[in-house]
Amino acid sequence: MRRSFGLLLDLLLVLLILTGIFFRFSWNNWSAGADLHPDEYGLTGTITALKLPESWSEYFNTRLSPISPYQKYDVYGNPTVPGPDNRMRWGQWPIILIRAAAELTGNTGYSELRLMGRQLSALADVLSLIVIFLTGRYLYGERAGLLAAAFSALAVMQIQQSHFMTADNFGALFCTLALYCAARTVRLPDMDPPRSVWPWYGLFGVFLGMAVATKVNLVVLAGVIVLAALLEIYDITGGMRWRALTPWLRAFLLLAFAASISLITFRLCQPMTFRAENADTTFTTLHFNRDWLDSMQVARDESRGINAGPPGEQWTDRIPIIFPWVNMVLWGMGLPLGLAVWAGLGWATYEIARARPGWQGHVLPAAWAAAYFLFMGTRHVMSMRYFLPIYPTLCLLAAAMLLTWYDRRALARRGTLLPALLAGVVLLGSFAWVVGFAQAVYMQPNTRIRATRWIFQNVTAPLHLELCDLGETTYQPLDAPDMLALYPGESYHVQFTAHSSSVLSGLRVAHLRSQPGEAPAQFIHVRISNDEAGQHVLAQTNVPVPAIGSDPRGAPSRADFPPVALLAGQTYHLFASAADFPAVIERNVLANEHWDESLPVRLDGYDPFGQFYNGISMDVRWTDDENKRQMYINNLARADYLILPSQRGIWSVSRLPEQYPMTMEYYRALLDGSLGFDLVAQFQAPVQYGPLYISDLAGTISWGQPPAIPRINNNLLAAEEAFTIYDHAPVWIFHKRADFDPNKVAAFFNSLPLHGDAP
């Protein structure tokens, strides 16, 4: 009976691991082809411009190597061709791996390479699951390995990062591999003494070199093998004769061997780090590439909050250790697993301190997890993804704690229900959090994709077809150049394909006016035909030209078509001309925020700012000075719609009230409607369980309806920006009211303090 139960438990754990793998590889094109992740599209653009060298000599010759993203040079050290990314901060090893896979599979185009890169990122994380299973099996037994892999498989942060083509999962894999190699050097009490650790030290050096060639700050991983060497000295001397020379000499030789292998691996995997000042660079060239050093200095400064610019403002006044801990526990892992892994780390530390049986097996995973968390948790930038290298390790400690607790209670005949129940709660809670997150974020269109499609439907293009489909009114935008002039007897022609089978019922025009200096036009004539010559007219109408009002671009206008059926996939032609006197059609103006992704994005075959709308930038991250005041006044007067594509601007400036006093008041007035704009659409993606909503964005819960998104969010429980902004960012869309008064808006801004004004 006990054996059957154990088999069922193992099968359940395997099923959960497979579920986690399924979630990693599913919904790969979550962005619908749009560029929504700056690191991802920056890396994609760089790798697309690179190619594998044709020879090893070219591979190492950084000054002209086609796999190096940096500036190219002639043999005298003079710059020639700029590289695709002369400020590359990522390591080169993931770039080489992704580019090699792209060339082998023929996925070298931008979109294809990005999707393949996401799959490789997911694969790297799946390999981490396998490695943590092997580590757990070696240190604690097969079931501990399975439970650790199941916990790690259900960690939301690992699943999310598997959907991004970035270097993070690669770095986590190499760290997990290195930890496994280090763990294999530890001799546990029930192991036979004779064994060789030299191969494991060498393999540790390989994976350490790869880790550092992925992210340079992973060099701290080297401390793990030093600790492993100290454990071996303790094992050899029995913890009593620390002054014995032979064990220390052996440890020194082992560490020197690992270090040598690591340096060679780094040289192989990161060739761009080195460049001869003159002549060609070879494998033996150890002169640092100045371009690489400059990039690393920039990255180092940004990680310390120096010259980080607007992207770094979100880290203002974040609490070291506490902030990343809360984010990991609540959102990166989910509350049950998050608490369990830290209880596991505490348990392992206690076991080591008390020298309990098997304590040697806890030392390396516990030390690595604690040291790396303290290292990254005290940086200025404490992004959740930077802690990925210790996620599998923490899951291993949680699994070891629960199974050890279970075994000890079983041995003492004290009942095993409590540890079994707790393990079940952690597994079930983790599964529920993963499913809820996937349903909110990946099983429905991305919030920015939803916002884009809302814009296509509701923000009038120059020419906007009104359709009736199964009783529901929908719209299809048609492109036209800005300030399209229409004349009598001359037709503007645009071809379009019906997106669905529906009934054409009307036409909207964004802004329509008479041509200045001409007699007032009465209407424009529009007809729909199914032939390019316009001979077979299906429907036609006259769209009235409004009288000139307060907006010099004219006013919106519409007209009904006699109902006519359009067939999905069928090509049609629209012809527009002035009926009596010249008229002009102008576009709507959409204002997006600088340092953010402009909406609407390119989607469904549309290039919105090329075809439908004019865009302007709200430079909300400028320092609050007189230039910025005038920018606000002018842009608000010009814009028909204001779009906040994420919380990036509104929540970052609120952390710097002295630098952004005017901008904080701008956001307040925008949200309460006093600037003459109304909130007409809002998008978010809270996790939902029936009537219960959980907002990682705001750090709040609600019942029966999604939580309100606050104007200022300093809630310690809210997820950090990077966890939500790429795949489920909040979006606000505001529309200018008819009573918008530019004089009132100017007076409002002129009354506000600027940066540096005396209080």
Q: Return the HEC string of 56-103.
A: HHHHHCCCCCCCCCCCCECCCCCECCCCCCCCCCCCHHHHHHHHHHHH
What pLDDT, in 10s, does the model give residues 175-186?
999 999 999 998
C-alpha distance from residue 261 to each of 202, 206, 265 (Å): 6, 6, 6
Rounded CA-CA distance 450/456 in Å is: 10
∠ CA 495-496-497 to the nearest 5 degrees?
140
pLDDT band (50, 70, 90) for residue 192:
low
**DSSP per-residue string spanning 338-367:** HHHHHHHHHHHHHHHHTT-TTTHHHHHHHH
CB 168, CB 389: distance < 8 Å: no
41 Cβ contact list (under 8 Å, min separation 6): 35, 114
**pLDDT at residue 48 greater than cutoff 70:** yes
What pLDDT, in 10s, does the model give residues 366-400?
999 999 999 999 999 999 999 999 999 999 999 99
pLDDT (0 to 100) of residue 759:
59
**pLDDT at residue 4 greater than cutoff 70:** no
**pLDDT at residue 758 greater than cutoff 60:** no
pLDDT (0 to 100) of residue 243:
56
pLDDT band (50, 70, 90) for residue 304:
confident
Rounded CA-CA distance 485/521 in Å is: 12
Average pLDDT of the residues in 664-690: 96
**pLDDT at residue 458 greater than cutoff 80:** yes
Rounded CA-CA distance 653/665 in Å is: 11
Rounded CA-CA distance 125/508 in Å is: 50
**pLDDT at residue 2 greater than cutoff 70:** no
Residue indicated by tokens 């104007």: 711
Percent of the chain at pLDDT exceeding 90: 82
C-alpha distance from residue 110 to each of 46, 102, 334, 605, 606 (Å): 10, 10, 34, 16, 18
Instruction: Answer with the residue of higher pLDDT: 415 or 616.
Output: 616
Rounded CA-CA distance 584/260 in Å is: 73
Residue 443 CB neighbours (<10 A):
12
What pLDDT, in 10s, does the model give residues 324-343?
999 999 999 999 999 999 99
pLDDT (0 to 100) of residue 242:
52
What is the Rg, in whole angstroms, of the alpha carbon atoms belonging to the chain?
Answer: 31
Q: Establish how many alpha carbons lie within 13 A of residue 662's alpha carbon, considering only the half-sphere containing its beta carbon.
A: 28
Instruction: Answer with the residue of higher pLDDT: 189 or 108.
Output: 108
Amino acid identity, position 417: L
**pLDDT at residue 240 greater than cutoff 70:** no
600 prior amide bond cis, ω within 30: yes
Rounded CA-CA distance 411/421 in Å is: 18
pLDDT (0 to 100) of residue 3:
66
Long-range contacts of 547-554 (CB under 8 A, 24+ apart): 547/520, 548/513, 548/514, 551/511, 552/513, 553/511, 553/513, 553/586, 554/511, 554/512, 554/513, 554/514, 554/584, 554/586
**pLDDT at residue 244 greater than cutoff 80:** no
Tokens (6 digits) for 419: 């540890």
pLDDT (0 to 100) of residue 531:
92
What pLDDT, in 10s, does the model give residues 471-524?
789 999 999 999 999 999 899 999 999 988 999 999 999 999 999 888 888 999
**pLDDT at residue 460 greater than cutoff 70:** yes
* Nearest alpha carbon to residue 524 among 538, 505, 503, 510: 510
**DSSP per-residue string spanning 494-561:** EEEE-SSSEEEEEEEEEEEEEPTTSPPP-EEEEEEESSTTS-SEEEEEEEE-PPP-S-TT-EEEEEEE
Tokens (6 digits) for 251: 């440890």
pLDDT (0 to 100) of residue 737:
95
What pLDDT, in 10s, does the model give residues 536-549?
999 999 999 998 88
Of all helices (H) and strands (E), which one includes residue 493? strand 492-497
**pLDDT at residue 319 greater than cutoff 70:** yes
Average pLDDT of the residues in 555-581: 94
Which of 231-245, 416-430, 568-582, 663-677 has the least mean pLDDT? 231-245
**pLDDT at residue 690 greater than cutoff 80:** yes
C-alpha distance from residue 750 to each of 131, 542, 620 (Å): 62, 44, 16
pLDDT (0 to 100) of residue 359:
92
The dihedral sign for the CA sequence 472, 477, 478, 482 = positive
pLDDT (0 to 100) of residue 308:
74
Average pLDDT of the residues in 599-607: 94
What pLDDT, in 10s, does the model give residues 713-738?
989 999 999 999 999 999 999 999 99
C-alpha distance from residue 192 to each of 85, 145, 196, 246 (Å): 52, 21, 11, 21
pLDDT (0 to 100) of residue 208:
98
pLDDT (0 to 100) of residue 285:
92
Residue 196: burial class (beta carbons within 10 Å; 0-12, 13-18, 19+): exposed
Amino acid identity, position 539: A
* Nearest alpha carbon to residue 145 among 352, 399, 418, 333: 399
What pLDDT, in 10s, does the model give residues 64-81?
999 999 999 988 889 998
Cα 470 to the chain's mean position, in Å?
38
Provide the 8-state DSSP code for 317.
T
pLDDT (0 to 100) of residue 307:
76
